[in-house]
Amino acid sequence: MTGLNTYANLVNARMEDLLPPANDAPSILHEAMRYSALAPGKRLRPALCLESCRVAGGNPSLALDAACAIEFVHVFSLIHDDLPALDNDALRRGQPTCHAKFGENIAIMAGDALFALAFSISPECEVMHELAHASMALVQGETMDILSEGTEPNPQTLTFIHQRKTVALIAASCAIGVRLGGGSDQLVAALRTYGNHVGLAFQIADDVLNETATAEQLGKSAGSDRERNKMTYPAYFGVDESRRLAAEEVNQAVAALDGLNETHQLVEWAHFAISRER
């Protein structure tokens, strides 16, 4: 995907520097942090942050540490999401999950440490505030996701879960990028709206892929939402209608960019959120 790989390389190199060296004590903690953070993710959230900074007129390097902080929060949330007490998954980003490789106790610690690292490298109070606010939403969404397992799906709860567990951090990534690029409040609002729609499209596509793709293709478990009776878009709307709703979100994301300059990359990624195969 154009642009995504360029930004991913930048972010990977910076994360490598920001993470504690593997042989610093306690080395198993740092190995586990590096193992999960440096695994081959798409880096969509950091890319959105860097590109939003560029669209605001700033050099993307201004937002690089914030982009890494966002990815560290995301990786932390995935490590905990995969734990036996939560989704109990064995595969993530094409490799054994953190707890499968290092044990549950170290995986919990590695997650906690990545969360702390994220805040310790956040460049400004405002970035920390955005990140903390989105993190709270993640916890609320994940809690509702757990509580809803096995219950009758309904659109209100579904929206509550998706808005918080996924959309909040994606929208915050865009808002943080604009802020660090020196953009106006108006541009923050426009790209936050874009992020809200891309984020929802992304999570609906994730739900659909869990239902339709293979674990080999995804690099993480497939069919697990149905097995665990998760409250997902396909569970309530079916696969076809979920795809249509995701496409509608993409259209709204693109509409939020109306009248702005230099947004071709953001438009492309909005489409990528639902056309991706993993």
Question: Which does residue 220 bind out of ligand FPP, Mg ion, none, counting CB within 5 to 8 angstroms by kind?
Answer: ligand FPP
- Residue closer to ligand FPP by CB (options 29, 138) is 138
One-letter amino acid at 108 equals I
Min dist CB 216 to Mg ion, Å, is: 17
What does the alpha-carbon distance between residue 141 and residue 189 come to, in Å, rounded to a whole number? 22
Pick from 51, 81, 206, 225 the residue near Mg ion by CB under 5 A.
81
**Is residue 77 a contact residue for ligand FPP (CB under 6 A)?**
yes
**Is residue 73 a contact residue for ligand FPP (CB under 6 A)?**
yes
Site for ligand FPP in 131-170 (CB under 6 A): 135, 138-139, 142, 165-166
What does the alpha-carbon distance between residue 268 and residue 73 come to, in Å, rounded to a whole number? 25
Reading the block at residue 215, the tokens are 């674990």
Question: Which does residue 196 bind out of Mg ion, ligand FPP, none, counting CB within 5 to 8 angstroms by kind?
Answer: none
Pick from 87, 130, 211, 249 the residue near Mg ion by CB under 5 A.
87
* Cα 153–chain centre separation: 23
Phi, psi of 91 (to 5 degrees): -130, 135
For 263, what's the count of Cα atoms within 13 Å in the CB-facing half-sphere?
19
What does the alpha-carbon distance between residue 92 and residue 236 come to, in Å, rounded to a whole number? 26
| First-to-last C-alpha distance (Å) of the chain | 12
The site string for ligand FPP over 220-249 (x = CB under 6 A, - otherwise) reads x-----------------------------
Question: Which does residue 263 bind out of ligand FPP, Mg ion, none, counting CB within 5 to 8 angstroms by kind?
Answer: none
For 275, what's the count of Cα atoms within 13 Å in the CB-facing half-sphere?
8
Sole window of 20-28, 66-74, 80-88, 254-262 interacting with Mg ion (rule: CB under 5 A): 80-88
Residues 62 and 181 sit within 8 Å (Cβ to Cβ)? yes
**Number of shown-chain residues binding ligand FPP (CB under 6 A):** 15
Pick from 23, 45, 43, 42: nearest CA to 33: 23
- Residue closer to Mg ion by CB (options 79, 175) is 79
What does the alpha-carbon distance between residue 179 and residue 173 come to, in Å, rounded to a whole number? 10
- Residue closer to Mg ion by CB (options 81, 130) is 81
Q: Which residues bind Mg ion (CB under 5 A)?
A: 81, 87
Q: Which residues bind ligand FPP (CB under 6 A)?
A: 73, 77, 80-81, 87, 115, 135, 138-139, 142, 165-166, 206, 210, 220
